[in-house]
Amino acid sequence: MPAPRLSEMAPGVPIIPVIVVDDVADALPLADALAEGGLTCLELTLRTPAGLPAAQAILAERPHITVGIGTVLSVDDLNRCVDAGVAFTVSPGLTDPLREAVARSPIPHLGGCQTISDAMACREAGLLDIKLFPAALAGGVPLARAIGSVMPDLRICPTGGITADTAAQTLAEPNIFAVGGTWITPKTAIAARDWPAITRLARAATESLT
C-alpha cells in the first residue's frame, strides 16, 4: 500500500521550518517556540548528529507536533528515520536506490527535484509529492508552473531561497502545497537560545498567509 501523501495530511500552516540543531537539549524549547508562533510541522535535518535524536525527543514529548527528517541522503538514512518513527522524510535530491526505497517507504517522502526529468522520475515511481530544491536556483515559481502544466497530479514543496517576503506569494500557486526553509530558525538565534525571536519569526510567517 502506498504511503499517505504529506500534501493530504493537512499538518497545519503550510510552512515547514528546516532545522539544523547541534544540541539535542534545544529540541523541545525550539519546537515549543515554533508551535507558539503557529508552526506545528517541522523538518529536523541529518546535517548534524543531533538531528535524529532531536526529532525523537519532540516525537516523544510533543505528540501534537508533526516531525519529519530532512537531508536524507541514503537508503540507510531513510531506514534510520522510519525506525525512529518520524512522520515524513525529505531528501535534497534522489539517487536511483533512494528513489526505489522511498517508493516502498511506509511514511511520506518528499524527494528533491530540480528539473522536469527529476519530477517525471518521481512520478514514475509513484512519488506524487516532491520537494523543489534549491527552489530559487532551479527556477522557483515559473518551474513549479511548468511542472504543473505537464504533470498536474504532482504537488510541490519548494525550499531553498524561500524567505519571509516570498513564502505567501509562492504558496498562492495551486500546485504548491507547502514551502520550507531555514529563515524561521536562524543558526544565530538557535545558538543564542533566543526562543522568543524564533516565535516572532514563526508568527510573522504564519500571519503573512492571512
Q: Which residues bind ligand 3PG (CB under 6 A)?
A: 18, 70, 92, 133, 159-162, 180-183
Residue 165 makes CB contacts below 8 A (sequence gap 6+) with none
| Nearest C-alpha neighbor of 119 from the set 135, 101, 136 | 135
Q: In this complex, which beta carbon is closest to ligand 3PG, that of residue 92 or of residue 148?
A: 92
Burial of 198 from C-beta contacts in 10 A (0-12 / 13-18 / 19+): buried
**Cell numbers representing residue 71 in the block:** 537531508
Kindly write down the DSSP assignment for every residue of 91-144, as one continuous string. ESS--HHHHHHHHT-SS-EEEEE-SHHHHHHHHHTT--EEEETTHHHHTHHHHH
Task: Tell me how far apart the alpha carbons of residues 209 and 198 are, in angstroms, rounded to a whole number.
Answer: 17
CB of 134 to ligand 3PG, least distance (A): 7
Q: In this complex, which beta carbon is closest to ligand 3PG, that of residue 73 or of residue 128?
A: 73
Catalytic choice (124, 131, 173, 207):
131
Q: In this complex, which beta carbon is closest to ligand 3PG, that of residue 177 or of residue 183?
A: 183
Q: Which residue is nearest to ligand 3PG (CB)?
A: 181
Q: Identity (one letter) of the amino acid at 66?
A: T
CB of 150 to ligand 3PG, least distance (A): 24
Q: In this complex, which beta carbon is closest to ligand 3PG, that of residue 162 or of residue 205?
A: 162
Q: In this complex, which beta carbon is closest to ligand 3PG, that of residue 38 or of residue 180?
A: 180
| Nearest C-alpha neighbor of 43 from the set 63, 25, 65 | 65
Active site residue 43: yes
Active site residue 187: no
Catalytic choice (8, 43, 173, 187):
43
CB of 133 to ligand 3PG, least distance (A): 6
CB of 135 to ligand 3PG, least distance (A): 8
Residue 190 makes CB contacts below 8 A (sequence gap 6+) with 19, 20, 21, 22, 26, 30, 198
CB of 1 to ligand 3PG, least distance (A): 28
Question: Which residues are catalytic, by number?
Answer: 43, 131
